[in-house]
Structure 1
Amino acid sequence: MYGIAPPDLKLLTRSDDRITYLYIEHATIGREAGALTVTEDRGTVHVPVSALSVLMLGPGTRVTHQAMTVISESGTSVVWVGEEGVRYYAAGRSIARTSRLLEAQAMKVSNTQSRLAVARKMYGMRFRDEDTSRLTMQQLRGKEGARVRKIYRECSELYGVVWSGRQYDPANFSSGDPVNQALSSAHACLYGLCHAVIVALGCSPGLGFIHTGHDRSFVYDIADLYKAEITIPTAFRVIKELEDEGRLAKTNVGSEVRRELRDAFRRSKLQGRVTADLYALLADDKPGQEDLWADVINLWDGRKGAVAGGHNYQGRHRSDRGEEPL
Structure 2
Amino acid sequence: MTSYIPLRRTPIRERASVLFLEHGNIDRDDGGLVLIDADGRTPIPVAGLTCLMLEPGTRISHAAVKLCAELGCLIVWTGEGGVRIYSATEPGGASARHLLHQARIALDDTLRLNVVRAMYAFRFGEEAPQRRSIEQLRGMEGVRVREAYKRLAAEHGVDWQGRNYDSKQWRAADVPNKCLSAATACLYGLAEAAILAAGYAPSIGFLHSGNPRAFVFDVADLFKFETVVPAAFKIAGAIARGEDPRPDRPSAYQRGRESAAQKEVRPDVAVRHACRDAFRRERTLDLIVPAIHDMLAASGVEAPADAPEAGPPAIPVTEEAA
Fold-level match, TM-score > 0.5? yes
Q: Which runs of structure 2 are paired with 1:94-133 in the superposition (5 Å)?
A: 94=91, 96-132=93-129
Aligned 8 A contact 1:182 1:254 in 2: yes
2:276 counterpart residue number: 262
1:170 & 1:67 partners in 2: Cα distance? 28
Q: Which runs of structure 2 are paired with 1:60-71 in the superposition (5 Å)?
A: 60-71=57-68
1:90 & 1:282 partners in 2: Cα distance? 27
Residue 7 (structure 1) shift:
2.2
* DSSP-derived class of the 1:90 partner: strand
In the alignment of these two chains, the number of paired residues is 290
Q: 1:14 aligns with which of 2, 11, 16?
A: 11
Which one-letter code corresponds to 1:127 in the other structure? Answer: F
1:137 counterpart residue number: 134
Q: Which runs of structure 2 are paired with 1:1-326 in the superposition (5 Å)?
A: 3-8=3-8, 12-94=9-91, 96-132=93-129, 135-246=132-243, 250-282=264-296, 295=311
The percent identity for this pair of structures is 38
Structure 1, unaligned stretches of length 5 or more?
Answer: 297-326
Which one-letter code corresponds to 1:117 in the other structure? Answer: N
* TM-score using structure 1 length: 0.81
Which one-letter code corresponds to 2:187 in the other structure? Answer: L
Residue 139 (structure 1) shift:
4.0
Aligned 8 A contact 1:52 1:76 in 2: yes
Aligned 8 A contact 2:84 2:168 in 1: no
2:43 & 2:84 partners in 1: Cα distance? 26
Change (3 A) 1:92 1:175: same
Change (3 A) 1:3 1:145: same
CA deviation string 1:292-326 (max 9, x = no partner): xx627xxxxxxxxxxxxxxxxxxxxxxxxxxxxxx
Structure 2, unaligned stretches of length 5 or more?
Answer: 246-262, 313-322
CA deviation string 1:228-283 (max 9, x = no partner): 22222111100112233456994221121112112111221212211111222235
CA deviation string 1:45-103 (max 9, x = no partner): 11222111111111122222222222111111111111111111111122532111111
* TM-score using structure 2 length: 0.82
2:4 & 2:227 partners in 1: Cα distance? 40
Residue 109 (structure 1) shift:
0.4
Larger relative contact order (CA 8 Å, sep ≥ 6): 2
Which one-letter code corresponds to 1:99 in the other structure? Answer: A
Give 1 or 2 for the bigger CA radius of gyration: 1
Residue 132 (structure 1) shift:
4.8
Identify which range, 211-220 or 169-178, moves more after superposition. 169-178
Aligned 8 A contact 2:138 2:207 in 1: no
Residue 187 (structure 1) shift:
1.4
1:246 & 1:278 partners in 2: Cα distance? 38
